[in-house]
């Protein structure tokens, strides 16, 4: 009777993740993120020794309790940050579009645009 041999499966390589351009503009923050950034330290002071995940839960509960009037300043900050991002992205895309026509420039472009 022939001996059975096990076939080895080759380990599947994870698909390589496309690297982000370090010169790309940063996305705008949401109203909740502005709220969380303003209140995170206070939550930590009120609850010493609290775990990271629990801080987020408390912040989420506080955000839900806010009235529309209380959320308005954070929503305004988020709107302004979104406008900033869209303006920077348009400028960035114009530069990238120009560089795509010139392989020499795109290979040499390492200076962060402003």
- pLDDT, tens digit, 9 for 90 and up, residues 77-99: 999 999 999 999 999 888 876 66
Number of domain units in the chain: 1
Is the predicted pLDDT of residue 74 greater than 70, yes or no?
yes
Task: Give the range of the structural domain holding residue 81, as residue numbers without chain letter.
Answer: 31-108
Q: What are phi and psi of 35, to 5 degrees?
A: -60, -45
Q: Is 113 within the bounds of a domain? A: no
Angstrom distance (rounded) from CA 109 to CA 47: 48
Q: Describe the chain by its helix, strand, coil percentages, rounded to 5.
A: 60, 0, 40
Distance of CA 91 to the CA centre of its chain: 19
Q: Is 14 within the bounds of a domain? A: no
Mean pLDDT across 7-21:
73
Q: Are 107 and 64 in contact (CB under 8 A)?
A: no
Query: For the domain that residue 67 is a member of, what is the CATH number?
Result: 1.10.30.10
Q: Is 82 within the bounds of a domain? A: yes
Is the predicted pLDDT of residue 25 greater than 70, yes or no?
yes
Is the predicted pLDDT of residue 52 greater than 70, yes or no?
yes
Q: Is 12 within the bounds of a domain? A: no
Which pLDDT score, from 0 to 100, does residue 22 have? 81
Q: Is 48 within the bounds of a domain? A: yes
**In the structure, what pLDDT confidence band is assigned to residue 1 with cuts at 50, 70 and 90?**
low
């Amino acid at each position: 009777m022939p001996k059975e041999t096990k076939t080895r499966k080759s380990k599947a390589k994870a698909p390589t993740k496309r690297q982000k351009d370090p010169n790309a503009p940063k996305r705008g923050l949401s109203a909740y993120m502005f709220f969380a950034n303003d209140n995170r330290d206070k939550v930590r002071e009120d609850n010493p020794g609290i775990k990271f995940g629990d801080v987020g839960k408390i912040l989420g509960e506080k955000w839900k309790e806010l009235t529309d009037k209380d959320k308005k300043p954070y929503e305004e900050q988020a709107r302004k940050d979104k406008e900033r991002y869209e303006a920077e992205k348009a400028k960035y895309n114009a530069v990238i579009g120009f560089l795509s026509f010139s392989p020499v420039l795109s290979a040499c472009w390492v200076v962060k645009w402003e």
